[in-house]
Amino acid sequence: MSSQEENIVWKGRSHQIVNFWPLVISLGVIIAILWVAFGTDLPSWLAVLAIIPLAYGGWLYLGTKLMVFEFTSERIRIYEGILNQEINEVELYRVKDTRLEKPFWLRIFGLSNIVLQTSDRTLHEVNIRAVCHGAEIREKLRKQVELLRDKKRVREVDFEGGGGDGNEMEFEGDLM
């Protein structure tokens, strides 16, 4: 164990409003199937087909419910999966940019999206959709990133490609 514990800064999940339209469409399909099965001369056993959109809606609900975002003092963890849980991690000092998005649809419910650009090779962007108090969470995260960078004496530097004048240099392998 290290002398300094890793503390949870924020832990939360997306709001179920992200599934609103797919769930409304699933409900409409269920109603249509039941109406056809019981309101026409077709066999009523066709009502069993309503299980398909019902299962789809349940799968969406569980997928959102079981996706958890966790910011610790050292890293970002994303727990996701229904049958098998997958955990993705990004070191906190690798966060390059944080963006807060407030689309009209989410502002109605007091929600916002937080988008994190990282320099991690496996997870370039972390999109936390429909969270309450997005501005406060983003600010906590930003402060923690700066604190960790100062502690580790790490700076994020972007190297852009050349200006297209043909003077770019390509490096292969180590130059030592």
71 located within any domain: yes
Name the domain count of the chain. 1
CATH of the domain at 70: 2.30.29
Is 76 within 8 Å of 116 (Cβ atoms)? yes
Name residue 57's amino acid.
Answer: G
CA of residue 84 relative to chain centroid, distance = 17
Look at strands 95-101 and 8-12 and give their pairing.
unpaired
Neighbours of 140 (CB within 10 A): 14
117 located within any domain: yes
23 located within any domain: yes
Structure tokens at 102: 């407030």
What are residue 112's DSSP bridge partners?
Answer: 131
pLDDT of the residue at 1: 45
104 located within any domain: yes
39 located within any domain: yes
pTM confidence score? 0.80
More confident residue, 173 or 106: 106
pLDDT digits (tens, 9 = 90+) for 15-39: 999 999 999 999 999 999 999 988 8
pLDDT digits (tens, 9 = 90+) for 128-148: 999 999 999 999 999 999 998
47 located within any domain: yes
70 located within any domain: yes
46 located within any domain: yes
Residue 37: DSSP 8-state: H
The Cα 92–Cα 147 span in angstroms is 10
pLDDT at 91 over 70: yes
The Cα 37–Cα 21 span in angstroms is 24
Structure tokens at 11: 């832990």
Q: For residue 52, what are the domain limits?
A: 8-152
pLDDT digits (tens, 9 = 90+) for 38-82: 888 888 888 899 999 999 999 999 999 999 999 999 999 999 999
Residue 109: DSSP 8-state: T
Look at strands 75-80 and 86-91 and give their pairing.
antiparallel
